[in-house]
A = this chain, B = another copy of it.
Amino acid sequence: MSTSRLIYLPLGGAGEIGMNCYVYGYGQPGEERLIVVDLGVTFPDMDGSPGVDLILPDIGWLKQNKARIEAVFITHAHEDHVGAVGHTYADLGAPIYARAFTANIARGKLSEYGIEPGAVQTCSAYPETVTAGPFTVSFLPISHSIPESSALVIDSPDGRVIHTGDFKLDTSPLVGEPWDPELWAEVSKGGVKALVCDSTNVFSHTPGRSEASVGPAVEKLVAEAKQMVVATTFASNVARVKTLAEAGERAGRSICLMGRAMRRMIEASVETGVLKGFPKVIGPEDASQIPRENLMLLVTGSQGERRAASAQLARGKYHGIEMQEGDLFLFSSKTIPGNERGVIRIINQFSEQGVDVVDDSSGEYHVSGHANRPDLVTMQEVVNPQIVVPMHGEHRHLREHVKLAGEKGRKGVLAVNGMMVSLSGNAPEVVDYIETGRTYLDGSVQIGALDGIVRDRIRMALNGHVTVTVILDEEDEPLGDPWCDIKGLPETGRSRAGLVEVLEADLGQFLGRAKAKTMRDDAKLEDELTRIVRQTSQNEIGKKPEVTVVVSRLT
């Protein structure tokens, strides 16, 4: 037993915001029994992952060590923590544990893969525990921007780890359990080996604000609105959706939820009992019959997503409802970095419709779900851990969080995805580097981020594409002229002749003079033809396209 160790290995979320996936292990080196905390996703973008549907953590290492996995624990139901359960379940083959609301959402995801609901086991909160190999794990309630968020209290023979999950210190979160420092102190009083802690807001220097602080401002805004009111927020922020709905109800408006994700989240909250007293809602078909000054829509799409309800309303009619001059649209949300263009696009579309848009620039209509810097200090003080392990953050956040721990006289360790850290000794120690990365769900296929597939797509987007077809007869002589097709390239260039014609002429000239040895060698011929296409295109249009050469030999 003396050489057994407690390890921490982030596979996603450490060095990025999103795609959380952390592994803990205990046992002899290389034989540790493992538990997985969270299986999240992150979202593709046109810059780096065009055409990709979803980005999953690379769980290759877990697949290799499948037999060692005892269980999966999900801290809360945000996509970046639970989104990959369906795509990875078959590869991990371990039971999933979560609290009721999270389990409800996870089961929905598994059912898309035909996996039975029993794959997820519903747990109660601390002090109930789950035994998973050498670990005993408990869900410790903590406030966040979704119901039933939980930290995990992970007990091992080498001591207790508290993995915070995402959290804020909110004593009146409206929905879900408030931050309870006494409970946390109680849990921590026997000594905590490591606090593995959310880092996303480490650069926010003021204490976090309570969810309850949003209500009065929203209520005033809605009460003063003259025409229809539409509000958007993150669908999973059930407390916020409730705040918005209550503001509408108090202003005498009928409430209509629009967008699948929002209806799904509210349903799950009601089904699992975490949401009570939500105002009565009407369907879109009834909404279109109600005078607009008596109506409030709560819609998905706070990040400007093209297919969400907000973007559809911005483009025109959605479920029979259309925005009009004098309507109010409220973003009760912040724009996640990278989504600015999409959000600004719909704000301008609303502007063209004469809709007044209110966003969070005043700071009144949204609060963050994450602990700010002073809250992180409070958390460290309450838990008083031996080691602080920052997680869920880009490199800059993790580094700053380690510094913050240091300022308070605590040991911190900067571990990014793939770094295996032993927590057993007096100081954390990096004991291994695991190859890790990202897996793309591309259509219905999972591909590696570095497989070259997406790289080729990006190159076609940047450079366009030329297809060259050459037919050679039995003597390796060209049968007719080479043939070019272009896609994503201008039809004429510098010489004012058609690009295709110029390319075909240059290729034909080359083939007419090529040596027999070249003509016999497919690979060499393709290289040469590609080179000519790129060179001629560079001269003609100032671009070097991607090229597909098809050499057909009649035999």
Binding site for B on A (CB under 8 A): 15, 45-47, 50-51, 203, 337-338, 340-341, 344, 347-348, 350-352, 354, 357, 361, 394-396, 399, 442-445, 447, 451, 453-454, 456-458, 460-465, 467, 469, 471, 479-480, 483, 485, 487-490, 492-494, 538, 541-543, 546, 548, 550, 552, 554
Contact = CB atoms under 8 A, between A and B. Distances in A.
A63 to B, nearest CB: 17
B394 A454 contact: no
A525 B282 CA distance: 51
A442 B399 CA distance: 41
A203 B344 CA distance: 13
Nearest to A354: B399
A344 B337 contact: yes
Given A458-B461, A460-B457, A543-B442, A337 B347 contact: no
Q: Tell me the interface secondary structure of chain A in the complex.
A: mixed
The complex is assembled from copies of this chain, and their number is 2
Contacts of A395: 348, 351-352
B552 A394 contact: no
Contacts of A357: 396
Given A45-B341, A50-B458, A351-B396, 9 more contacts: A51-B463, A203-B361, A348-B394, A352-B395, A443-B543, A445-B494, A458-B461, A465-B465, A465-B548
Contacts of A480: 552
B396 A347 contact: yes
Given A51-B461, A444-B542, A457-B464, A548 B487 contact: yes
A495 B341 CA distance: 39
Contact of A465 (B445, B460, B469): B460
A270 B302 CA distance: 48
Contacts of A457: 460-462, 464, 487-488
Given A51-B461, A471-B471, A442 B541 contact: yes
A287 to B, nearest CB: 26
A303 to B, nearest CB: 13
Contacts of A460: 457, 460-461, 465, 487-488
A490 B337 contact: no
Contacts of A399: 351, 354
Given A46-B50, A340-B337, A488 B453 contact: yes
Given A203-B361, A341-B338, A487 B469 contact: no
20 contacts: A51-B462, A337-B344, A347-B394, A354-B399, A442-B490, A442-B542, A443-B542, A444-B541, A445-B542, A453-B464, A453-B489, A453-B490, A460-B460, A460-B488, A469-B550, A469-B552, A479-B554, A485-B548, A487-B546, A487-B548
B51 A447 contact: no
A483 B552 contact: yes
A467 B344 contact: no
Nearest to A15: B348
A442 B462 CA distance: 10
Given A394-B344, A396-B351, A447-B490, A485 B550 contact: yes
A488 B399 CA distance: 36
Given A50-B462, A460-B461, A467-B550, A396 B445 contact: no
Sorted nearest first, the 10 A-B pairs with minimum C-beta distance are A443-B542, A444-B542, A461-B461, A457-B488, A443-B543, A50-B461, A51-B462, A460-B460, A351-B396, A337-B340
